[in-house]
Structure 1
């Protein structure tokens, strides 16, 4: 309904004929500072006018900076009173802002009382705002759905065991002497690792054998297995078993079974440090001494670092005290090694190793500390 507050003036036929010409006028914004902006009026809503320009795209102009508007086409004008009129806008600094309506004629128009303007073939500004909000919500929902699908895909991939999970190494070292002393020594080790995104299985078997002047002087075999399974990004649980036989330490069999948990302090592809703590059971069967069984504590760490992209340094340390007498009855194991590739594909490498075994209560006649040096050539497989 059009209220009587609009004074009716004689309709200007000449003005409408001019405005009806396709090239008569372009949409134009006259600013309070005297400058003009030409473009296409998009809408006026919430005290801001959107104008599509050829030089800067869509720009926004505050309503209180606008002196007048010219439009080339019909627009819907919504007044603060609630009335709506369709017509064209015409502005002249002498006559002020006018609204040219086919039904109401040539009317003066106070822009301060205009609440909204939009092209006749488009939804109202309020509806456009709702559409924009709905579009943003659909976009946000689509992004959230996409992120969820990516997370589910990553989780599914993490639960799939890689096809090539196994890697390992075989190595062999020889040494000898002849003349005043005839000596031949052999040491070797085979390791294998099966690794997935959430667990690691390490297996190893090592041996040392030596003869001097026709007499056997060394004969030791050590087997080790350890399984680690992650239950968070840095925490993991582990279980291990170690079997050892050493003829020249009077040891028929030493078996150590351990369960515990560990934590990654450094977890990178070329740099890793993890600590572990667990409880275990140890059985030692000797050739000439009684068999011993006891509960033990296992505390240690595993460290590795890739140097210069080729050299690999590793150090494994384990402290094994008896729970019944941890001060006077304990063992310490330390293994350090430097792996030096000798081929470009790193398949063949030389490993220099240093191993220390300390037993605070050795069998009578044995030393507390055993130190072994090894240099071996090995083949690495993936």
Structure 2
């Protein structure tokens, strides 16, 4: 009886293993390696194979001599032909795409991209604009010899397309020291840029707000010009900007003349992703007046971002410098702020 039971279990296990082998997709490479799993996608000269033993494996398409799939995928060939079906190798790098509309014999190297049946074409998705959002919040305080309490918040909405980016943003910070307001700042702005070649773009932006710490009742900077991407990779983008601006500032001090001047707009925007965890952001902005280049405003922000638990929550640590060459009376030219913020990003 026990022998019979063992025989049945052994037979069942063998059949299960055989069924899994039959239903699995397979890839064979030039060096003789045979990989078994599920072909997730073919794109950009790579084939992604999901396996139970090593997770997702990426194989260079140029190294593949055979590829066979059991479940149909929508396949687009390099020539543009698109059909849903399964892949079966014939040897020598040849593969047959079989579907309801017939069969096509082609080369493994001619498979341009794939996606799941019923899913949206990746080429269409790439052309669609997508909104993304982020909200920041920071809170600080101190008790003892003096009392201090500060709170800050910010929001960013970004619409990203294949050739353009539109951003709406706002920031606010408020701080009290020993019962007196020591800092009160607010700004809101819009920034639009559009590439008309791979690296060259044009942009327009406008930002306004107030800064009670600098005795600025209201300021506005409107600018437009051209940008150039010195670096443009998946993990690194460095963009320089040069344009014309109009700067307007009014002060609480009645003895200070308001600023109303056209000028230059010089900027540098840097984004660098070190790995899947750390991201560095840097921005520089220099806005001098045409009638007096000694009258200018310089802004700098640098920060590092780290994930907290999930991909939506992040921690941002950074520093900002705000330099006004001709501040209100009894005010410092340079304001430096060190900050730590919680950031929530979603789509």
Give me the TM-score of the superposition, normalised by structure 2: 0.63
Contact 2:268-2:285 at 8 Å conserved across structures: yes
Larger Rg: 1
Unaligned runs of 5+ in 2: 1-77, 83-111, 113-120
Partner of 1:332: 298
Cα deviation for residue 365 of structure 1 reads 1.2
Alpha-carbon distance, 1:191 to partner: 1.3
Return the offset for 1:159. 8.5
Q: Which residue of 2 aligns with 1:279?
A: 244
- What CA deviation, in whole Å up to 9, does each residue of 1:11-30 have, x standing for no partner? xxxxxxxxxxxxxxxxxxxx
2:259 to 288, 292, 295: 292
> TM-score if structure 1 supplies the norm length?
0.57
Superimposed CA distance per residue, residues 322-358 of structure 1 (whole angstroms, 9 cap, x where no aligned partner): 11121x11211101011110124x1111111200011
CA distance in 1, matches of 2:277, 2:194: 28
Would you say 1:342 and 2:308 are equivalent positions?
Answer: yes
> Considering only aligned residues, what root-mean-square deviation do their CA atoms show, in Å?
2.3
Go from structure 1 to structure 2 and tell me whether the alpha carbon gap of 1:189 and 1:223 turns closer, same or farther (over 3 Å shift).
same
Larger proportion of strand: 2
Instruction: Encode CA deviations 1:295-322: one digit per residue, 9 max, x unaligned.
Output: 0101111001111221110000011111
Aligned partner of 1:318 among 276, 281, 285: 285
Displacement, 1:147? 6.0
Distance (Å, rounded) in 2 between the aligned partners of 1:248 and 1:300: 24
Aligned to 2:20: none
**Is residue 2:157 matched to residue 1:186?**
no
Paired residues for 1:98-137 under 5 Å:
none
After the TM superposition, which residues 85-234 of structure 1 pair with which residues of structure 2 at under 5 Å, given as runs? 146=79, 157=124, 160-162=127-129, 165-234=130-199
Does the 8 Å contact 1:158/1:197 carry over to 2?
no
Q: 1:380 corresponds to which residue?
A: 345
TM-superposition CA deviations, 1:221-279 (whole Å, max 9, x none):
01121000111111111000011201221111110100101011111121111111010
User: Which blocks of at least 5 consecutive residues in structure 1 are unaligned?
Assistant: 1-144
CA contact 1:311–1:339 (8 Å) conserved in 2: yes
Post-superposition Cα deviations, 1:129-176, rounded to whole Å, max 9, x if no partner, equal xxxxxxxxxxxxxxxx936999xxx9x8489424xx111211111111
Instruction: Determine if the alignment matches structure 1 residue 304 to structure 2 residue 237.
Output: no
8 A Cα contact 1:185 1:209, kept in partner = yes
8 Å contact from structure 1 (residues 187, 374) kept in 2: no
